Copies of this chain bind each other. A is one copy, B any other.
């Protein structure tokens, strides 16, 4: 198998991090299979962004898996009764935008698809710097998922494939991520970050995700094509 034939499954939400991760996987020569989720999130606009990014970055296939996490609840992103915090409202510990076991669910579907495709590498835009509050963005979690994945699957048990969870952004700041994506030619006007869009479908500019994005572009010395201070 030549380097240009390596396959990877890339989790793609359509935000800055996952879109940059996809650009990095492409630059490493992977044939990319993008995987997105419609899980009844209040910011479903990100799925339109995911489609735009997947097309622009010429993925081999873009699969959107649908399920309803609002039935399980427990997060401001899936329960309408929990407000998305604005302008860094006082919040201790892990933020209410944490969705219980979300990355575990996402990575599990990615693992299933990767096994069928024969793709050893699963890319995720997890970041332990800006989002250190999310337990399922930490390196020790990702390592534990990888260990489990290699015991869970037929191809791994039969020795045909070894899975690697790749998180190339893990130790990068948002500014470094944006600079890296820009250097790879990624057009960030295609992406979407806001957790709580306005009824007109514009970014709120005040949720954590908007604030991290604004700060990232500012520190990178670049202009965000979507948002501005």
Q: Which A residues contact B (CB, under 8 angstroms)? A: 63, 65-69, 71-74, 93-94, 98-105, 107-109, 111-113, 115-116, 135-136, 138, 140-141, 144-145, 147-149, 151-154, 156-158
Contact = CB atoms under 8 A, between A and B. Distances in A.
20 contacts: A65-B67, A65-B72, A66-B67, A72-B109, A74-B112, A74-B116, A94-B154, A100-B153, A101-B149, A105-B112, A107-B108, A135-B151, A141-B148, A141-B151, A144-B147, A144-B148, A144-B152, A145-B148, A147-B147, A148-B148
Which secondary structure dominates where chain A touches chain B? helix
Most interface-central of A63, A153, A156 (chain B CB within 10 A): A153
A49 to B, nearest CB: 21
A151 B135 CA distance: 7
A100 B93 CA distance: 35
Contact of A72 (B69, B116, B145, B149): B116
A100 B109 CA distance: 9
A140 B65 CA distance: 29
A103 B111 CA distance: 11
A102 B112 contact: yes
Contacts of A63: 71-72
Contact of A157 (B94, B109, B147): B94
Nearest to A67: B67
Contacts of A67: 65-67
Contact of A152 (B66, B101, B111): B101
Given A72-B113, A94-B154, 10 more contacts: A65-B68, A72-B116, A74-B115, A100-B112, A135-B156, A136-B151, A136-B152, A141-B151, A144-B148, A144-B151
Contacts of A109: 72, 101, 105
A103 B148 CA distance: 11
Contacts of A158: 93-94
Contact of A104 (B68, B99, B108, B144): B108
Contacts of A71: 63, 65
B104 A73 contact: no
B154 A98 contact: yes
Contacts of A105: 105, 108-109, 112
